[in-house]
Amino acid sequence: MAWETWITYLATVLLLMSTPGPSQLLMLSNSAANGLERGLFTAAGDLTANLLQMLAAGLGLAAILAASATALSAIKWMGVAYLVFLGLRTILRAEAKSAGMALKSSRRTLWMQGFLTSAANPKAVVFFAALFPQFIDPALPFWPQLALLSVTYLVIDGMFLTAYGASASWLAARLQGHAKLWLDRIGGGFMIAAAALLGLKSLES
C-alpha cells in the first residue's frame, strides 16, 4: 500500500471518529462510574467486536448481512433495549450510592457491555466492506492490506476511547458527594442517549 493512500485513510478515519457514537458514550459512562482502569475493559470489548466485524467484511459476509434486513433490524433493536437497560441500571446504582452502597461493575461485565454495544450495529460489517476497498490496491496482496487498515482503525478507535474514558475518570475523581452522584446519573443518561442514536439508525435503515 502506498504511503499517500495510508495517510488519506488515516485522515478519513480521524474524521469519522470526530463525532461520538454509542460506544464512546458508553465509555464515558463506565469510566466515570468505575475508573479508567476498569473502563478500558469496555474499550477492549468494543475493539473486539470491531475486529470480528472487519474479519467478517474481509470474508465477504457483508453481502449476507446486507441481504437480511430483518436480521439487521432485530439485532439493532435488541442493542437499543440493552443500552436502555444499562442506562436505567446506572441511574439506579447512583441512587444506591446515595444510600451508602457503592457498587462497581466487574471487568467481565464491562467488556461484555462494550462488545455488545458495538456488535449491536451489524451494519458496521457493511461499513467496513464499503470503506476498505477504497484504499486497497488490487495489484497487491489483499490480506496484508486489510490487516494494515484494520490495525490502523483499531489503534485510532482505542486512542479516542481512552481519551474519552480518561476525561470522564479524571472528572469523576474530583467530584464528591451530590456532584459525584449527579455525574453517575448523567452517565446513565449517556447510555440512554446511545440507545437513542442506535434507534435513529434503525429507523433510517
Cell of 155: 489503534
Tell the residue number behind the cell numbers 479524571, with chain if given: 170
Lowest average pLDDT, out of 6-15, 61-70, 74-83, goes to 61-70
For residues 32 and 171, is the Cβ–Cβ distance under 8 A? yes
pLDDT digits (tens, 9 = 90+) for 106-142: 888 899 989 988 887 766 777 787 788 888 888 888 8
Q: Check whether 148 has a pLDDT greater than 90.
A: yes
Q: Check whether 75 has a pLDDT greater than 70.
A: no
pLDDT (0 to 100) of residue 117: 85
- The pTM of this model reads 0.73
CA gap 29, 190 in Å, rounded: 6
CA gap 29, 96 in Å, rounded: 16
Q: How confident is the model at residue 12 (pLDDT cuts 50, 70, 90)?
A: confident
pLDDT (0 to 100) of residue 123: 66
Is the pLDDT higher at 99 or at 150?
150
Is the pLDDT higher at 200 or at 98?
200
pLDDT (0 to 100) of residue 204: 54
For residues 166 and 40, is the Cβ–Cβ distance under 8 A? no
Q: Check whether 104 has a pLDDT greater than 80.
A: no
Q: Check whether 205 has a pLDDT greater than 60.
A: no
pLDDT (0 to 100) of residue 44: 96
Query: Which residue intervals of 18-141 are DSSP H helices?
Result: 22-34, 36-58, 62-67, 69-98, 107-119, 123-131
Alpha-carbon torsion, ordered 126, 132, 136, 141, to 10 deg: -70
Q: How confident is the model at residue 194 (pLDDT cuts 50, 70, 90)?
A: low
